[in-house]
């Protein structure tokens, strides 16, 4: 049986699968929620809501990166509607994603592809 080349593997597989993406998501959520500009979003969530948000974020990224996970959450526009997320908030959030990717030493190609999964969502999430 032939082994799949790196170019044949999904982003999900190249990053390291579920556990690797979970580590990135956990780091991102942890640092984001402690950021003074972003803390207002986490402050309105109880523990159960935070756990659900984490799982939905993880499921979304796993599914979009080619993993076997099914995302059952709302579309991004609906999920973020009314939160008043600004372009500045978006930039801060993307900085936290980038830091998580760097912390876990995600290779350059995979880093770009993962960040691209976020960047296509900007117009659906930013309201002002």
| Domain carrying residue 22 | 13-125
Q: In total, how many domains does the chain have?
A: 1
Domain for residue 2, yes or no? no
The rounded distance, in Å, linking the Cα atoms of 19 and 104 is: 12
Instruction: Supply the CATH number for residue 61's domain.
Output: 1.10.490.10
The helix (H) or strand (E) run that includes residue 11 is helix 11-15
Each of the 128 residues of the chain gets a pLDDT tens digit; together they read 455 555 679 999 999 999 999 999 999 999 999 999 998 888 878 999 999 999 999 999 999 999 999 999 999 999 999 999 999 999 999 999 999 999 999 999 999 999 999 999 999 999 98
Domain for residue 5, yes or no? no
Q: What is the pTM of this model?
A: 0.89
| Residue carrying structure tokens 């509607």 | 81
Domain for residue 81, yes or no? yes
Domain for residue 64, yes or no? yes
pLDDT at 124: 96
The answer to whether the beta carbons of residues 21 and 67 sit under 8 Å apart is: yes
The rounded distance, in Å, linking the Cα atoms of 69 and 15 is: 15
Domain for residue 1, yes or no? no
The answer to whether the beta carbons of residues 104 and 23 sit under 8 Å apart is: yes
């Amino acid at each position: 049986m032939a082994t799949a080349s790196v170019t044949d593997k999904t982003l999900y597989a190249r990053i390291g699968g579920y556990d690797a993406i979970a580590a990135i998501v956990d780091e991102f959520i942890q640092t984001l929620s402690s950021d003074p500009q972003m803390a207002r979003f986490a402050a309105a969530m109880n523990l159960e809501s935070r756990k659900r948000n984490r799982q939905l974020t993880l499921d979304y990224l796993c599914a979009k990166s080619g993993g076997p996970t099914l995302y059952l959450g709302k579309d991004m526009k609906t999920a973020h509607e009314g939160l008043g997320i600004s372009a500045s908030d978006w930039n801060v959030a993307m900085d936290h994603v980038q830091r998580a990717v760097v912390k876990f030493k995600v290779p350059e190609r995979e880093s770009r592809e993962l960040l691209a999964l976020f960047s296509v969502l900007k117009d659906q999430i930013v309201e002002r």
